[in-house]
Structure 1
Amino acid sequence: MAERRKINPALKSALELGPILAFFIAYIRLREQSFTIAGTQYDGFVLATAGFIPLILLTTGILWALTRHVSKMQIATAVLVVVFGGLTVWLNDERFFKMKPTVIYVLFAGILGAGLLRGRSYLQYVMEEMVPLAREGWMILTRRLAIFFAGLAVLNEVIWRTMSTDMWVNFKTFGLTIAIFGFFMAQGALFRTYGAEQETDD
């Protein structure tokens, strides 16, 4: 197995968040326009999606080349971007790309929930090196995150089905990122309590 390498955190964040911001900028610039390609008319959203697909693959590839590691969540996200983004472009139907976050969060919630039913925290396998917690802390955090992901899936469905495309793009670009950041910030007490317990046990 290749040794995992560390890179500048700012570069890592740019590679992870860059495609999302690029999609947002492309959509803002193209949303009022339509283009005819090979006899088919495409709106700005579909073209922004078409550009997002190779970009997410490129940045994921660069991240792997620099660190020799890509998380399973990142791989799953890239695969679903290709599948649902490809369907959006192929069928010229923006609904498929709007459904992608729902599928991603249902998948994550399902995986975490399956682990909990087996008495395990799959989240611990992914994040243990970054966040040292006692086993009970991992179980609590995993349960909360599974519920959180399920809530995001429901929220995405409500927004894309009942609100404008502009609202959904803003939600996808900023709302989801802020929500995930806020979730982990809100777990400070859990990290302090169960992190301290693990340090004492060690």
Structure 2
Amino acid sequence: MSGTLRPDTKLSGAAKEKAATDAELSPWLKMGVEFGPLALFFVANARPRLFEPLLARVLSPELLAGPNAALFTATSVLMVSVVIALTVSFAETGRLPIVPLVTAVLAVAFGGLTLYLQDTTFIKMKVTVIYSLFGAALFIGLAMNRLFLPFIFNNAMALTERGWRLLTVRWGAFFFALAILNEIVWRTQSNDVWVAFKFPGIFIILALFMLSQAPFIMRHQLDGEDAGKD
């Protein structure tokens, strides 16, 4: 029927065929591309001197010696590593996934502002901005009778229309909750606490949330015959 909610980006038909023919990253390489930059960010903040020889030529002495030197170092490492991760992903698959691409663009933009203005506020607010954007995109999609969530999940599961709608609301609310939580943490805690919250904290929260949605997903899954229909 005309009001039926449907996935965005025309995931049926030609797009499905293209997705099926595109190369996929191996599980270990996929994990490295997605979480490697965050892990390096954490390590660089904890052990900034390990990266000083590489950054001394591009960062000013003030950035490497001040009270926020560790976070400035970590920000620099994050900016470089997300670009490398995207390059590896594109080289292996021939495409740039939208979520990692948006995340990388914001990391470079907010990281650049952080280093240029020597103000850690920008890299901390990046987390708030990105999760707010994700949450807003999901709710705007619902309002426009579009589903972005199947695209984010790479069409990995088949749910009923009601299931996708409710799951979109849940994920949208969750993203906004993460944005609010980030604001609370960075405004009230030290740099080291915030970095630990960013990684592995948010990763753990995301994993727990995904596990909590498993029973709901199972209840709203389509059977094999319905799942194969466009």
**1:133 pairs with 159, 179, 182, which one?**
159
Change (3 A) 1:114 1:198: farther
Q: Tell me, yes or no, if structure 1 residue 171 matches structure 2 residue 202.
A: no
Show the 5 A alignment for 1:1-202. 3-30=21-48, 38=60, 40-42=62-64, 43-127=69-153, 129-195=155-221, 197-199=222-224, 201-202=226-227
Q: Deviations over 1:61-96 (max 9, x none)?
A: 101111223321111101100110000111111111
Query: Equivalents in 2 of 1:70, 1:158: separation in Å?
Result: 32
Query: Equivalents in 2 of 1:147, 1:129: separation in Å?
Result: 21
Query: Equivalents in 1 of 2:210, 2:149: separation in Å?
Result: 13
Change (3 A) 1:39 1:6: closer
Amino acid at match of 2:226: D
Contact 1:87–1:96, Cα closer than 8 Å, also in 2: yes
TM-score by length of 1: 0.90
Calculate percent identity across the aligned residue pairs: 35
Amino acid at match of 1:82: V
Query: Equivalents in 1 of 2:97, 2:76: separation in Å?
Result: 24
Query: Equivalents in 1 of 2:154, 2:30: separation in Å?
Result: 19
1:199 Cα shift? Answer: 3.2
Q: Cα RMSD between the aligned structures?
A: 2.1
Change (3 A) 1:73 1:41: closer
Structure 1, unmatched stretches of 5+, are none
Q: Per chain length, whose mean CA-contact separation is higher, i.e. which structure has more relative contact order (CA < 8 Å, sep 6+)?
A: 2
Contact 1:134–1:198, Cα closer than 8 Å, also in 2: no
Change (3 A) 1:189 1:41: closer
Structure 2, unmatched stretches of 5+, are 1-17
The total of aligned residue pairs comes to: 199
Question: After alignment, is 168-177 or 182-191 more displaced?
Answer: 182-191
Change (3 A) 1:135 1:128: farther
